[in-house]
Amino acid sequence: MAIYGIGTDIIQISRVAAVMERTEGRFASRVLGPDELRVYEARNARSAVRGLAYLCTRFSAKEAFSKAIGTGMHWPMTWRAVQTLNEPSGRPVMVASGELAQWLDARGISVRVTISDERDYAVSFVIAETVDAASPAA
């Protein structure tokens, strides 16, 4: 495997809380994919703090992902085109769909992600890898 790109993002949870308040909660449905949104809603129903932390880690992971693949938040990368889900073990994995999945497949890119949060911050790291030595310029 060769590293295609690395991305990291840290977000202040209070900033997302303010955006959620300002958008009356619509921010979550704009940023989260359908599977993420179901998990968010369940966690938020049990605990607003846990729901907000989940939203922040997913937002952070998408930002880190966009940096690792080198597109930023531009086509084919969109907020809902990639989701950070959990395997049964709890390990986070990023799952792309639509044009983004095709774009990644065409370049042989796979990703690894790690996420974490504390009371005030959420942070994510993403490593994009290729089987060969393809570069972002490819």
- Binding-site members are 9, 63
- Backbone CA torsion sign across 59, 64, 65, 67: positive
Q: Which of 52, 62, 46 is nearest to 21 (CA)?
A: 52
Binding-site annotation, residues for Mg(2+): 9, 63
Between the alpha carbon of residue 48 and those of residues 20, 39, 60, 124, the distances in Å are: 11, 13, 18, 21
- Distance spanning both ends of the chain, measured CA to CA: 16
